[in-house]
Amino acid sequence: MTLKRASTPSDENVSNAKKAKTPVDIEYDEGYNDPEADITLITSDGVYFKVHSFVLKASSIVFRNMLAVGNEDNTEVNLTDPDFENSNTVSTFLDACCGKAIPEPIDLYKSDDTDEIEAYSDLIKFARKYESNLVLSQLSSLLYKWQYSKLISPFGIFVIAYNMESPDLAAMAIRSCGGRTWALSDTTDEAKAVATDRLRTVNPTTRVCLLDPSGMSEAQLDEMPSPYRWALIRATHNQINEKELSKTDWKKVSNDFLHLIKMSKNYKEREESSNEDRITPPGVDLSGQFKVDFLMFVRHLKDSKFGAVEDRAFSCML
């Protein structure tokens, strides 16, 4: 199974998806259609997910507060952001909450498939919005494994790292860059000449190091948060040996990147804003509704045959 980004629906399609539907019109997700589930998530592309509230409350601080006691009328949750609240992202998120593995990348070490990288980024954005440390920690651990196993390229790791707002993960991507360059896929001599010339192509410049910002496309640099872009440009300045990439001291570049990004005023402001906006979770008290949600989630994970379920359920509710 591979993770692919859903196509972004148009405003008209989103509007149509949110109109009242008859039971015949409703499209339920195949994996999440339990009639006994008490919550329905409606994605931006109009797919309905029937989910048990204890799964959402145990996996997400935001959902836990949204579905707290006293809000019993919240039986439907409309997910409206067309960029990352689509059915593909929600399905992967719920699978991860229920103990299923997040799909491994398919040959992202060689191809840097934009759709697949963005699909992981969408999952991160969703997990960050709904404050799911369970999913974020799982994906973070997998990224280190995938990088070591060469399932995803340093550029792919770097993109996912800045979406996760993890300078340490981005620094790891830099350290592992080595001699990786943008692949040359053009066939004609003229096309090859254009693709390798920074002054003639708007695409990533082939045969240039993946994490050399001077070889990236305008779109790639534009999507990169300014603290990461600034730190990467400075850290790589006069450090990359284009003739012999293997002689580049990527450990130094990585350390300089970490040093610089933590100096960035923009980065510090983003960190402070993130901390201020974070919803404080309820106190850890295994009594009342918290205990009910905890025990129900443990039972759900046991039904899913997932190991160490008590530790997993408790840790993700903190």
Tokens 């570049």 appear where?
Answer: 253
CA 258 – CA 235 distance, rounded (Å): 9
Lowest-confidence segment of 143-152, 268-277, 309-318 by average pLDDT = 309-318
pLDDT given at position 281: 39
Strands 27-33, 39-42: pairing kind: unpaired
With a threshold of 0.85, does the pTM exceed it? no
Q: Name the residue with higher pLDDT: 25 or 249.
A: 249
pLDDT tens-digit profile of 197-253? 788 888 888 888 889 999 999 999 999 999 999 999 999 999 988 777 778 899 999
pLDDT tens-digit profile of 67-112? 876 566 668 999 999 999 999 999 999 999 998 989 888 766 665 5
Copy the structure tokens of residue 187: 């066939």
Average pLDDT over residues 131-150: 89
Q: Are 261 and 167 spatial neighbours (Cβ–Cβ below 8 Å)?
A: yes
Count Cβ atoms below 10 Å from residue 280 Cβ, excluding itself.
7
What φ, ψ does residue 182 adopt, rounded to 5°?
-65, 130
Count Cβ atoms below 10 Å from residue 199 Cβ, excluding itself.
6
What φ, ψ does residue 227 adopt, rounded to 5°?
-60, -40
CA 300 – CA 306 distance, rounded (Å): 9
